[in-house]
Amino acid sequence: MSKTVSLAGSSKGPASLRPSRLLPTLLLCLLGFIFLIPVLWMLSLSLQSFQETIQNPLTILPHHPQWGNYLQAFHDAPLLLYMENTLTITIAVVVGATFSAAFCAYAFARLRFRGRGLLFGLVLATLMLPPAVTLIPLYILFRNLHWINTFLPLTVPAFFGGGAFNIFLLRQFILTIPRELDEAALIDGASHWQIFLYLILPLSKPALTVVAVMTAVATWNDFLGPLIYLNTPDHFTMALGLVSYAGNAGLYTNPQPELLMAATVMMIAPILLLFIFAQRYIIQGIVTTGIKG
């Protein structure tokens, strides 16, 4: 009888290898590889010599990896300064956007006040507002505040709401937290501020991680904002610094793609590592919000 049970149980093992499950897995692997082709090609170019980059047919893999391309790019441009500026802006934006979005989301999810539904609808309506519409008014505002060529226009707005999508995502997650926990805390004498800090925020770690990582990726890769508000090279971010490096090094008139690709790899490496390590928490936050929200 025990053998029969064990055999029956073992028949469930190869279920994952059935064609109905194998085909979607192979399709996802193929799509993943297709999306990785530009990244792999960029990495390959960064390790090739100049002669290999202009060969016809193209060289897929470098015959002798030129690790000196990274040292050359690091020497030709102040990449360390660009990375420091980008990191400063990114940390400030992530902290401000995550906390302020969570604060607004808690108000929409837990507090009852007149016009809450209308106000939340207006917040969501801003998702359909193109950023180009507010570009000139914001520039005039920051110019009158004498914030041009500082990090303030790129960081301060993050502390005032954190973005409509982040508010929506966190609100949906907070709605999945049982209200009985809030009521028990209120009975024990806790205020809404204490409930938010010591109850809601710790339970919302998956959604907060999603907001933090998505905000970090968007801020790190932002090009338009620094292009508008930053004027001097000592304030440039990595995205803006790469364009400046290509122009100053004459890479437009005398292309050296291996150096530009090496600088680009150094730009995306930190944020790519962040995304890889936080991937599990991102999926957990999105799935939890999507299923329970």
Residues 177 and 254 in one domain: yes
Residues 87-126: tens digit of each pLDDT: 999 999 999 999 999 999 999 999 888 989 999 999 999 9
Question: Residue 245 domain-assigned?
Answer: yes
Residues 118-175: tens digit of each pLDDT: 999 999 999 998 888 899 999 999 999 999 999 999 999 999 988 999 999 999 999 9
Residues 100 and 121 in one domain: yes
Residues 50-82: tens digit of each pLDDT: 888 877 787 788 888 889 889 888 888 888 999
Residues 57 and 82 in one domain: no
Q: Which of 65, 24, 282, 47 is nearest to 169 (CA)?
A: 282
Quote the CA–CA distance of 28 and 38 in Å, as a whole number. Answer: 17
- Of 71, 103, 136, the position where a domain reaches its end is 71
Q: For the chain, what's the residue count?
A: 293
Structure tokens of 29?
A: 């692997």
| H helices present in the chain, as ranges | 2-10, 19-46, 50-53, 68-76, 79-110, 116-125, 135-144, 152-155, 164-175, 179-187, 192-195, 201-203, 205-220, 224-229, 238-248, 257-277, 279-292
DSSP per-residue codes, 144-209 = HTT-TTSSHHHHGGGGTT--HHHHHHHHHHHHTS-HHHHHHHHHTT--HHHHIIIIIHHHTHHHHH
Residue whose tokens read 């707005």? 157
Domain tally, the chain: 2
Structure tokens of 290?
A: 């999507």
Domain membership of residue 135 as a residue range: 75-292
